[in-house]
Amino acid sequence: MPEIEIRANIFSAFLAGTDTTANLFSFVTYYVSHYPEVKQKMLAEIDSIFPPNSSFQLTHNDLSKLKYCEAIIKEADRVCPVANLLGRYPTEPIEVGGYQWPAGTMFHFDLANLHRHKDYWPNPETFDPDRFFLDNENESYLDVKDDDLIKDENNQKEDRKVEQKYSFIMFGGGYRICPGRKLAMTELLSLMVYIFGKYDIELIDMEAPLKTKSSIITYCQQLMVKIKPRNQ
């Protein structure tokens, strides 16, 4: 690769592999704190797989059992997507929306509005992880096979519930779906186990809105919390 491609890939790794995870975990913390029933269900699942007051090592197999925790992560990204714009351009002339567009035209997808579109999501403003919690039908991102990079089966399964493919694009889709999606989900689930499993986290001001700033990604500007060991 030439130097410009090396630089672009390194920049992408820092931006897409650190900021996105950190900000999404902040959004998870904010919404879990506002929904006690979700928090209790999350803690019950974590405790059932990683018993409190016991030593354990995180394994891929155990993390993949955290179906409800993964549903929380997906719902947090649906309500407040970290990546709020998705760009694509055709390599050949194409018709979109009844218009002809030349090759190389850049199309931007507004994920924030797509993820809250009333035609695809019932009660779109409500934080409800159950919309992604399909019990035994739910397949974890950690279970995705390499072939799914092409088939994109995860998007199809999740979108089946809302009857519209690509109505939820947490990691993009198609040939250019995020190659780091497994690592991202592993990091987020690990954080939930280690932090929520061991500590009780509350917002200092429950009335304060979530403070964000958006550019290419949506940043959490401030999230004031108080932390103490869990009473288990």
Please state the rounded mean pLDDT for residues 115-140.
83
The answer to whether residues 61 and 88 touch, using CB atoms and an 8 Å cutoff, is: no
Q: Are 229 and 200 in contact (CB under 8 A)?
A: yes
Can you say which residues are annotated as belonging to the binding site for heme?
178
Return the CATH fold of 3-229. Cytochrome p450 (1.10.630)
Q: Can you give the pLDDT at residue 137? A: 52
| pLDDT tens digits, 17-68 | 788 899 999 999 999 999 999 999 999 999 999 998 888 889 999 999 999 9
The larger pLDDT score, comparing residue 229 to residue 146, is at: 229
Mean of pLDDT over the chain: 86
- pLDDT recorded at residue 71: 96
Q: pLDDT class for 143, splitting at 50, 70, 90?
A: low
pTM score of the predicted model: 0.83
Q: Please classify residue 207 by burial: count the beta carbons closer than 10 Å to its beta carbon, then call 0-12 exposed, 13-18 middle and 19+ buried.
A: exposed
Across residues 107-128, what is the average pLDDT? Answer: 91
Residue ranges covered by each domain of the chain: 3-229
Q: Which residues are annotated as a binding site?
A: 178
